[in-house]
């Protein structure tokens, strides 16, 4: 009978620990970084007019390979501007503090690369 009481006590303790652990935390885990590959070649941009999803304060990285200079402009609050060189493998990182639709465009080519739908 003592063994049965111990087994029930251990089972109850394990169940309690499991319920507490699965009860949901107040702070969800951070979202994985959003990586976007951009190619600018002979006046053409890939991607163009993409729709992306992100969370507030999520790390966003644009990997750019370009054959021409330009300026990458992120219309967020605060906004971000990055000078693009005529070079491969450039990396530009930012996050967005305010939810909403954020356009990312190239100033010289006057093209929208993407609209990022930023959620709280």
Kindly report, residue by residue over 42-93, the tens digit of the pLDDT: 999 999 999 999 999 999 999 999 999 999 999 998 899 999 999 999 999 9
Distance between CA atoms of residues 53 and 51, nearest Å: 7
Dihedrals phi, psi of 12, to nearest 5 degrees: -65, -40
16-25 per-position pLDDT tens digit? 444 444 444 4
Q: Tell whether pTM > 0.95.
A: no
| Res 12 pLDDT > 50 | no
Residue 96's Cβ-count burial label (10 Å; 0-12, 13-18, 19+) is buried
CATH number of the domain bearing residue 105: 2.60.40.420
Q: Which domain holds residue 88?
A: 34-119
Q: Is residue 97 part of a domain?
A: yes
What is the number of domains present in the chain? 1
């Amino acid at each position: 009978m003592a063994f049965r009481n111990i087994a029930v006590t251990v089972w109850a303790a394990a169940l309690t620990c499991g319920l507490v652990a699965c009860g949901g935390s107040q702070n969800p885990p951070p979202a994985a970084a959003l990586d976007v590959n951009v190619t600018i070649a002979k006046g053409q941009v890939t991607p163009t007019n993409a729709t992306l999803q992100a969370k507030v304060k999520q790390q966003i990285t644009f990997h750019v390979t370009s054959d021409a200079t330009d300026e990458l402009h992120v219309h967020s609050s605060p906004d971000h501007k990055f000078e693009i060189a005529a070079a491969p493998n450039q990396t530009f990182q930012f996050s967005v503090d305010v939810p909403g639709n954020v356009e990312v465009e190239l100033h010289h080519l006057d093209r929208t690369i993407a609209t990022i739908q930023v959620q709280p």
